[in-house]
Amino acid sequence: ITEAKVWDDISGEELDMSLVRAARMEEMDEFEKHGVYVKAPMEQCIQRTGKKPTGVRWVDVNKGDNVHPGYRSRLVAKEIKIDKRLDLFAATPPLGAKKLLFSWAVTEDIGYRKGNIHMGMKIEFIDVRRAYLHADAQREGYVHLPEEDSEEGMCGMLMKAMYGTRDAAQNWEI
């Protein structure tokens, strides 16, 4: 990693480079574990797609504080050009739907029977760690390799969904 200053993408505060480096290496380990991309020649990308690979950038945040830091780094694709062939999609249910389910769960004769509250409706919410890295890519896509894994003349052919690609949320739902 280039020894430049790094700033928190949310707060704008300067981050400790050694902790950023560790968080980025953890992310790269996850990319390798999940097989997010395979290295491919840059010419293959240009030949098959007619354009250069999509750029990437690091999103670095401290989810803790200065006393108890909790650094997180995510490598995201910068696929921001509008492509009418791809719909933007988010698999997150609306807040109103969650509120309705909670209300039903605590409503007598809907979520539970009178006198038997412990045998009523149960609601589970799960948070999958690095969810998109579990979803297979549904289209051929290429990204620039990050500095931590760069190789001259090579790019990454996506095998899994990657944060920042326009169809990542939709791939996760499939």
Distance (Å, whole) CA 126 – CA 105: 17
Q: How many CB atoms lie within 10 A of CB 54?
A: 23
Q: What is the mean pLDDT of the chain?
A: 87
* Average pLDDT, integer, range 152-162: 96
State residue 18's pLDDT score: 95
Q: For residue 146, is pLDDT > 90? A: yes
Residues 6+ apart with CB under 8 A from 52: 42, 45, 46
Whether the per-residue pLDDT at 86 is higher than 60: the answer is no
Which of the residue ranges 88-97, 100-109, 151-160 would you say has the lowest mean pLDDT? 88-97
The pTM (predicted TM-score) of the whole model is 0.76
Give the residue, 66 or 158, on which the prediction is more confident.
Answer: 158
Residue 87 is predicted with a pLDDT of 60
Q: How far apart are CA 104 and CA 110, in angstroms?
A: 6
Q: What is the mean pLDDT of residues 50-79?
A: 95
Distant-in-sequence, close-in-space partners of 61: CB < 8 Å, separation ≥ 6: 8, 9, 10, 11, 71, 72, 73
d(CA 142, CA 54): 6
Q: Please report the pLDDT score of residue 62 as a whole number.
A: 97
Q: What is the pLDDT of residue 113?
A: 79
Q: Does residue 141 carry a pLDDT above 70?
A: yes
Residues 38-57 have pLDDT tens digits of 999 999 999 999 999 999 99
For the record, the structure tokens of 3 come out as 């020894």
- Cα 85 to Cα 122: distance, rounded to the nearest angstrom: 40
Average pLDDT over residues 102-129: 77
Percent share of the chain, pLDDT over 70 = 88
Q: Among residues 85, 78, 92, which one has the least CA distance to residue 138?
A: 85
- Res. 78 pLDDT band, cuts 50 70 90: very high
C-alpha dihedral (9, 174, 36, 49), degrees to nearest 10: -90
According to the model, what pLDDT value does residue 1 have? 52
